[in-house]
């Protein structure tokens, strides 16, 4: 791949795969020939990608906010601030059949390239937001420890969001607004999540839990800030693994747990179950990958 960090993956109707790169480009990849074509350069950092029911693709850009990419390549800003305050880290989204968009604002303090600082500081400021088709915005859930992946249940009666630094998924009942834990406490950091064509909620585990980070979390904030000030090589580091899970959307029962490795791919952050493949994206790799299913 011509760029680094294909963080999320979206399978289009023709079978091609869309992904966003660290350099700001969104590229379209032919899964047969592996040829890629640049669709657009957002000028920011594209993360989550979702199809919009009216056409085009919804883009979560870490710097620019929530965007819409039309089929002719035009970018339109859908949301870049809430209550007059700019979004700091628009990360992932799910789009309902009526065009309602549920999205994560990971942190109100750190930008996309400083995500580790938010995990270290551990002062939860992440949010789950809802943007209605008319443009109205509502905060559904606040105080999340790095809000990340977002997925709707098949019936669209609940939305699930990954709380990366909390090692859990949260389920919000859309009729009552009640939030509950979805599934078990996880053994690693959940990243993007997506509803598969099998009706299951697929979850990426970007990296296993880090013993050094777990030891830091109960410490005073100033001590954790000192660790963030250290050179990168001395800070807790993510592990390059391939780990995805799938859950029944109503009960939270784990159905699949796939854990493997590859010398040229790891730190899985994007997942999309489509047909006989599970497509994978990665924040750190220079390729997308697929598991035969």
CATH of the domain at 123: 2.120.10.30
Q: ∠109-91-229 over CA atoms, to 5°?
A: 40
Structural domain that includes position 230: 10-280
On whether residue 292 sits in a domain, the answer given is: no
CB 57 within 8 A of CB 18: yes
Sheet containing 289-292, strands listed edge to edge, beginning at the edge strand earlier in sequence = 268-274, 277-282, 289-292
> Mind listing the pLDDT tens digit of every residue in the chain (293 residues)?
889 999 999 999 999 999 999 999 999 999 999 999 999 999 999 999 999 999 999 999 999 999 999 999 999 999 999 999 999 999 999 999 999 999 999 999 988 988 777 777 778 999 999 999 999 999 999 999 999 999 999 999 999 999 999 999 999 999 999 999 999 999 999 999 999 999 999 999 999 887 655 655 555 454 445 444 445 554 555 677 999 999 999 999 999 999 999 999 999 999 999 999 999 999 999 999 999 99
Task: Extract the tokens encoding 249.
Answer: 């959307």
Asked, for residue 290, whether it belongs to a domain, the answer is no
How many C-alpha atoms does 152 have within 13 Å on its Cβ side? 19
pLDDT of residue 122: 72
pTM for this one? 0.92
| Structural domain includes residue 46 | yes
Residue 197 in any domain: the answer is yes
222: in domain:
yes
Q: Does residue 247 form part of some domain?
A: yes
- Cα-flanking dihedrals φ and ψ of residue 267, to 5°? 50, 65
In a domain, 288, yes or no: no
Q: Tell me, what's the pLDDT at 228? A: 45
Cβ(241)–Cβ(259) below 8 Å:
yes
**Alpha-carbon distances of 79 from 58, 65, 130, 138, 148, rounded to whole Å:** 11, 6, 11, 12, 17
How many domains, in total, are found in the chain?
Answer: 1
């Amino acid at each position: 791949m011509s760029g680094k960090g294909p963080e999320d993956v979206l399978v289009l109707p023709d079978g091609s795969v869309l992904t966003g790169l660290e350099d700001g480009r969104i590229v379209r990849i032919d899964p047969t020939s592996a040829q890629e074509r640049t669709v657009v350069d957002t000028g920011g950092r594209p993360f989550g990608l979702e199809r919009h029911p009216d056409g085009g693709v919804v883009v979560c850009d870490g710097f620019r906010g929530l965007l819409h990419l039309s089929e002719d390549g035009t970018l339109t800003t859908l949301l870049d601030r809430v209550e007059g305050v700019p979004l700091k880290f628009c990360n992932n989204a799910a789009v309902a059949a009526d065009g309602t968009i549920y999205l994560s604002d990971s942190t109100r303090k750190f930008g996309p390239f400083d995500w580790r600082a938010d995990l270290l500081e551990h002062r939860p400021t992440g949010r789950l937001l809802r943007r209605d088709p008319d443009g109205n915005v509502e905060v559904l859930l606040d105080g999340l420890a790095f809000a990340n992946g977002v997925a709707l249940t098949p019936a669209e009666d609940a939305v699930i969001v990954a709380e990366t630094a909390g090692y859990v998924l949260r389920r919000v009942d859309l009729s009552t607004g009640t939030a509950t834990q979805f599934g078990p406490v996880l053994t690693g950091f959940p990243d993007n999540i997506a509803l598969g064509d099998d009706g299951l909620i697929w979850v990426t585990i970007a990296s296993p839990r880090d013993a050094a980070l777990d030891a830091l979390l109960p410490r005073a904030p100033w001590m954790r800030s000192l660790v963030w000030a250290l050179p990168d090589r001395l800070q807790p580091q993510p592990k390059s693994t391939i780990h995805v899970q799938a859950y029944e959307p109503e009960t939270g029962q784990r159905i699949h747990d796939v854990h493997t490795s590859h010398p040229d791919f790891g730190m899985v952050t994007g997942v999309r179950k489509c047909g006989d493949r599970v497509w994978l994206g990665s924040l750190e790799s220079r390729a997308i990958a697929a598991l035969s299913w």
